[in-house]
Amino acid sequence: MTTTVYGKLTPSSSNSSMDHQKSKLWTMDTTPQGITVVHPYLSHIAFSNTLKFYLNGRLMVVKNPNPEGTLLDFIRTQANLTGTKLCCSEGGCGACTVTVAEFDQEKSTIRYQAVNSCIVPLISVDGKHLITVEGIGSTNDPHPVQERMAKFHGSQCGFCTPGIIMSMYALLRSKNGTVSMEEVSEALDGNLCRCTGLIPILDGLNSFAYDSEHYNKIKQYPKDASFVCSKGADCCRNKANKDGETESNSNPDMEIDMTELFSPDGLSLKSYDPERDLAFPQRLQQMPVQPKFYGNEYKVWFKPTTKAQLLQVKAIYPKSKIVAGASEVQVEVKMKAADYKVNIFANDIKELKGWEYQDGFGLTVGGNISLSDLEHVCGNLSKKLGPRGMVYGCINKQLKYFAGRQIRNAGTPAGNIFTASPIADLNPVLVGARSIVTTEKLDACSDKITVESFDLSDNFFTGYRQHKLDPESVITKIFIPETKDNEYISSFKQSKRKDDDIAIVSACLRVQLDDLGNVVDSTLAYGGMAPMTTTSKNTESFIQGKSIFEESFLQGAIEALDKDYPLPYSVPGGMATYRRTLTFSFFFKLWQTMLKEFQPTDLDALMKPASSLCDVDSNQEVTRNFPRGTRDLTTPFEEGSIVGKPVPHLSGLKQASGEAVYVDDIPPHHNELFAVNITSARPHAKILSVNYDEALEVEGVMGYVDINDVPSKHANLYGPLPFGKQPFFSDGEVFYVGQTIAVILARDRERAAEAARKVKVEYEDLPNIISVEDGVEQKSFFPDSRKYEKGDTKAAFEESDYVFEGQVRMGAQEHFYFEPQGCLVVPEEDGEMKVYSSSQNPTETQEYAAHITGVPINRIVARVKRLGGGFGGKELSPVSYSSVCALAAKKFKSPVRMILSRGEDMMTSGQRHPFLMKYKIGVNKDYKFTAVEATLYANAGWSMDLTRGVIDRAVFHSLNCYFIPNVVIEGIPVMTNTASNTAFRGFGAPQGMFLAESMVTRVSEELRVNPDVIRDLNYFKVGQTTGYKQPIDEDFTVPELVLQNKKEAKFDQLVEEVKEFNSKSKWIKRGISHIPTMFGVSFGVLFLNQGGALIHIYQDGSVLVSHGGVEIGQGLNTKMTMITAKELGVPLDKCFISETSTQSVPNTSATAASAASDLNGMAVKNACDKLNERLSPVKEKLGDSATWEDIIRTAYLDRISLSATGFYKTPKIGYVFGDPNPKPAFFYYTQGSAISVVEVDTLTGDWSCLSSHIKMDLGRPINHAIDTYQITGAYMQGVGLCTMEQSLWLRNNGRLFTTGPGAYKVPGFRDLPQKFHVSILKDREFKHLDTIWRSKGIGEPPLFLGFSVHFALRDAIATARRSQGIEEGCNGLPFRSPLTTERIRTMMADPILLAAQVPAEGNEWFIEA
C-alpha cells in the first residue's frame, strides 16, 4: 500500500464561517435537524431536490421524489405505466427491463442501454431519456420488435415479454439497427422466460440479425461482414437492376418492401427503420448537470456531479452508502432489510468512468466505468495486443458471463471490489493480474485528500466481505498491467448455468516463466474457496523455480492446492469435493495452456516432454453455437378452415405493448390497504407469544388479522381431503419456515413490510424433518396410500433370469412463474366481494373466500383476466393468500391487495414434490421385463395439499410406455417440515416416468445392452393392459413416433458421430439418448372432468365467449375463440373473451391436467351447437346470401335467444383404486419421443445440448404453432428439472435457501439445444379420438422428454468413465435428478477428482427435501 496526502479541496464558493464550522468537526452523519437537511459544510453546493428527465418522449419534473422506491416503483405507481413488470426485485430475470438513453457530451453521441428498473434508483435517470415498452408502440401501431415477438409466437403468459422487448430495443438503438446473432444473444443474457422454451423468442429477434437465416432487411447489412443469405444465389442483393448492376452495388441502403416480409407462418411483418424510432429529446442535450439532494426521515439521496463533490459528501456522511449499479444494495435493502439512510448516487460522475491505455504499461480505468464498457474495452485490447493483451482477454471472458447485460450496463468494478463477495467473478481476475486500486478520502477539517494505492494480490481481501480499504474512502481508479513476455494468465468460472449465474468457483491463474519454462513468479487467485477471494500461497511457493515440463509439476501443484484449500465436508456453501476438483482442474487447464503455447529457447530438448504431457482437448470448452429452432410449418387439415392454423396468441400484441393487465396492474382502489404476511422463522415450533406493539406504531399501519379473526377452527382449515388440511393462520404451532402467523395491513407496501418485520414472535423449537429420506426413516407418513397390483410378482421374480433392486431420487422444482402470487379483494354491499386473484382455480378462490368469511358462495365473485404463468403452482396455493385478504377486507371494510415478493412466493407456495423411489425389477435373457415392485415416497411437505393426486399420477406413470405383466406399485405421502408441495406441470408423471427410464437404463447398464433395444422389446402392444389394467388400443403410437423421429433425426448417423468424436477427444465427451413418453390425459378425480361455457351473441353480430378455463399463457383463450369462430361460422375477430369469472361460468374445474382445451372446448362447442340449432330456421328463411349480421338481427327480432350455456363431461373414465375391474384412468394418451445429443467438459462438469429432436402425437392440433411452443416450453422446463434446477434448504434452520433467481437457476437462452427441431406425428387421421376437433392436450406431456438431456449426460459420463478405466461406465452410480454440474463432475473417475475427494464426515451445509 502506498499513501499520499496532497493539497486542499477548495469549495466552488467560499463561506466566511467555514473555518468555524470545521473547527466543530462537522463530520457526522446527521445535522441536528436530521438527515433531511443538508449539512452546513455542503452549503456551497447548489443542490436541487427536483429530478428532470424524459419518459417516453415527455418531460417529467419530479420534485422531492419518494427516496425509498426504485425506478420501477416510479414507473408503475406514479407514471402509471404497468407494462414494466416486477418479478424478482434483484435484477435476475429481466422482466423489469427498460431502456435508458443518455447524451454523451464528449463524444456527441447518444447511448442506449437496457437496465433493471427493479434495482436502480429513480435518481439514476435524472437528465436522461427513460423508455418503457409503452413508449415504443401499441397494439394499433406496434414497434417491429413487439410485432415479431407476437407473430413469431414468442409471448405466452406475457409477463417476461416487455422486458425482453426492451432489451432488444436497446440493442437495436445502440447499434442503429445493425446487429448480429451474437449481439442478440448477449443482449438477452439477462432475460429469462419460463413459458415458451425461449426458442420462438430467439427466432423472432434473430430476424433483426444480419447473419441470421431469418434476416429480412438489407439496410442494416454491414458491407464488411461475411454474410450468406438463406436464399443463396437468389438473394435480393444479387438481382440486377435496370442498369445491369446488382442491388448491393447500386443501392446498399435499399429496403425490401415491408409487404414482402413474412414470419415463418406467412404473417406479414413491418421492416425496421431506426429513423422511425422515438427521437432523443434535444432539450436533454443542453440540459445542465446539477447536483441533487432529496429525501425523507427514512432515506435521503445525494447525487454529486463531480469527484470533488463526491469526496465532500462522503467526508461529511462517512457512513453513507455509495451507489452505482445498485445491484448489491437493492438486494440488501429488499431481501435483508438493510437500512441505508444516506445514499450517494455516484454513477454519473464522468471523472470516474473513463479509461486510458498506456502502451507497454497497462490499462487504467475509472472506478465507476460500467462493466459493459470494461468488457468491451478489454475485448478490443485483447484483439489488438495479442499475447500482451492476454489479461484483458481474461477480463472480457469473465465479464461476458457476469450477471446479465442489464447488470453489466449499470454495475462497476469499484462496486465489485468494495462489496468483496467471496464468489465474485471479477475480483479473482483483478487479484490474479496484480491490479492496483486507488482510493481517495477527504478530511473535512483540513480539506486535504489522502490518496492510497493497494495491490489487490497482496492480501487485499481480509475476510468475509472485508478488505483493506478505509470504508470512508472512494475508489477512483484501477490499474491493470498488461501481460509480460512468457507470462500466462487464464480466467475460469463454473456455475450451475452458463449465463447470468453466480460462480461456484472462479479463478484467475497467472504464471511467469523464464526462457526455459521455469516458473519465476505466479499469482493463483480463487473465488468460492474461502470467505474471500484468496491466493494459493502453498502452491505459488511450490511451483516457484519448477519447470513446467517436469512430470512431477502437476502432481506437486495439486498436492499443494490440497493444502491451500482443505475444505471440510460441512463447508458453508457445500459441494466441498466439487469445489476442490474445480480448483485442481483449473490449474490443470492453465498448465496445459503453458505446455501448448510456451516456446522455449532450447526447443528441441523440451518439445518431446511437452508433447507427451499435452492433452489435445484439455483447454477446449463445450460447443455453444447459436440455437436455431425448426418446426413443422404445414397443417395437414382441411383447406380454408381455421382448424390447426398458427393463429398468434390473441393477447400477444397486448402483452408485447404492455397493455395486458395482470392482478397488480389493476389501479388502486379508494382506501386500499396492502397486506404482508407475518411468517414463521422456524421449521417446527410452538408459538409462545406474538407481540404487535412496535408494528402498530409504524405510520400508516391499520392493524392485522390472525387466528382470532377467523369465525371458527373449521373455517381456518382448507384442503381437498378430510385429513392433512392446512390452516390459513397458525394455531399455536408452526410447521415450516414461511407459515403464516398473521397478516399486517397498511396504506402502502413499504410500511406494511416494515411493520411485519417489527412483529416479535417467541418460539419453543420442536424436532423437524426436512428430507424425504429422513421422513421415511422416521415413518413420518400421512394416513394415505395409493396402490395397484396386477399378476403375481413373487412368482415372476422367482422365474426371472435377472432381478435388480435399487432406488431413484428426484429433487424439488420451483415453479418460477414470472408473475408472483397476488390478489386484490374488494368488499361491496351485503357481504359481497370481488376477488381478483392470480389463480388457476377461480371456483376454489371463491369457495374458500366464502369459507373463511362465513358468507354464502353466491356473494363472492372470483375474476381472472390472465396469469403471468402458473404451471400448477397457482391451483391451490393462491387460496391461502386470497382468503386471508378476504377476511381482512371484511374486517377493515376496505379493499385489500397482497402481492408476494419473489422470496415470499418461493418460501411459502410449495414446489414440485421430491420423490424417493425404491424398486425391484425382473427381466429375462430375451430382455423382456417380467415383474416390478416399487414404492414411491413423495415429500408432501407438512400438509396433503394436492399430494394424493400427484401420487396417483406418479404410480400410474411409473412404467411409462412399457408392458410388464406382473406389477405392484404403491405411493406413500411423507410428512415433513417444509411448505406443502403442490401441483406442478406433469403432476407426478415426470417422477414416475423417471423411475421407469431409470429402471430401463439400470438394466441396460447391468446387461451391457443398448437401452433402446430394451425399450423396443417392451413397448406396449394393442390388446395388452397397463399395470392399472387400462386396455391399450389404437391410441398407442409410441413405436410409430419413435421410428419417425429417429428417421428424421438420422439417429444412427448421430450415434456414429458421437462415437467418432469421443474416440478423438479425451476430456470433452458427447452423449446421446432417446426417451419416449406416454402421458395420460384426464383429471384423476372423476367430478373434475367437466367443463362449462356461456356464449352471448349481440345485435351487431359480435360474440362474447366465457368458459371455465383460465388463460395462463398456454393460448387457451385463443383456442376457445378459434373453436367458437369455426363452429358458428364467423370470422375470428367477431369473437371475444374478456375474462374468467365465477359469475359467468360457475363450479369450474381448475385449469390443469392438460385437459382445459378438451373440457372447455367441448363445452364451447356444445353452446355453439345450441345456438346453431336455434339459428338454423333463420338461415334457411334468409337464404345463403344473408350475412351473419342479417341472421343475428333477424333472430333478435324473432325473439330467439342469442345466449347459450355449454357443458361437457369426459366419458368412459372413472378409475377407483382397489376395484378389481376398474374403468380407465385416462381418456387418451398424449405421447412423444425425444432425441438429444450433449457435450460435457469432464474437467468441470460444464455441458451444452447440441441438438434435440422432438416428435409428439397431438392428434389434430387446434393451433399448430401454439402447441409447438407449448412443447418447447414444457421440454425446457423438463431440462431444467433434470439438470440445473436444484432446491436447497439450510440444514441448520430449515429455511429454503434458493429463494430467487440469484440462487435458483432456470434454463436461459444459452441452455437451449443448438439445433431444436419439433414435429408432430404424421400419416394418421385420428378417427378414434372423440375430443374437440380430434385434438390432444399438450401442456404437460412434453416435459418429461427433457430428460433425454439427463440420460444423454449420463451416456457421456459413462463414456468418460470407460476412458478412465471404469469398464462398467455408470453402472452402480445413483439415478438422481437434477444432474447438476457438480454431480456430473463428481461422477467421473479421473485422478484429479480422486485427489480432490472430501470424506463424507459430518453434515453437508445444504439439504435437499
Query: Residue 323 pairs with which residues in a beta bridge?
Result: 345
Give me the residue label for grid cell 451474437.
182
Cα Rg of the chain (Å, integer): 32
Q: 958 with 964: CB under 8 angstroms?
A: no
What is the rounded distance in angstroms from the CA atom of residue 560 to the CA atom of residue 582? 15
**Which triple of cell numbers denotes residue 750?**
413499504
Cell of 957: 406413470
326 vs 330: CA distance, rounded Å: 6
Angle at 890 between CA 884 and CA 895, to 5 degrees: 85
Length of the chain equals: 1409
Opening angle at CA 693, ends 687 and 694, nearest 5: 105
- Contacting residues for 107 by C-beta, under 8 A, at least 6 apart: none
What is the longest distance spanned by two Cα atoms in the chain? 105
Strand bridging mode 726-727 / 786-790: unpaired
Tell me the C-alpha distance between 453 and 1292, whole Å: 41
Letter string b/e over residues 277-297, b meaning 16 or more CB atoms within 10 A of that residue's CB = bbebbeebeebeebbbbbbee
CA 325/CA 71 separation, integer angstroms: 12
Bridge partners, residue 1296, by sequence: 1289
The SS3 of residue 1249 is strand
Residue 332 appears among annotated catalytic residues: no
Residue-by-residue DSSP string for 211-261: TSTT---GGG--TTS----TTGGG-GGGSB-TTS-BHHHH-TTPPPPGGG-
In this structure, which amino acid lies at residue 57? G
CB atoms within 10 A of CB 1364: 15
Residue 1310 cell numbers, joined: 444459452
The span from the CA of 792 to the CA of 869, in Å, is 45
Please give the Cα distance from 754 to 759 (Å, whole number).
Answer: 9
Q: Which member of 1340, 1382, 1404, 1408 is catalytic?
A: 1340
CA distance 1155 to 904: 30
Distances (CA, A) of 1042 to 390, 1010, 1255, 1343: 49, 15, 8, 17
Distance CA 879, CA 857 (A): 14
Site of grid cell 432381478? 803
Side-chain half-sphere of 431: how many Cα atoms within 13 Å?
30
Burial of 166 per CB tally in 10 Å (0-12, 13-18, 19+): buried
Q: What are phi and psi of 316, to 5 degrees?
A: -80, -30
Judged by DSSP in three states, 785 sits in coil
What residues are paired with 358 via a beta bridge?
A: 362
Q: Is the CB of residue 992 less than 8 Å from the CB of residue 883?
A: no
Report the DSSP pairing between strands 1090-1097 and 292-295: unpaired
Q: What angle do CA 437, 320, 903 make, to 5 degrees?
A: 95
How far, in whole angstroms, is CA 427 from its chain's centroid?
A: 26
Helix (H) or strand (E) holding 1108: none
| Residues with active-site annotation | 1340
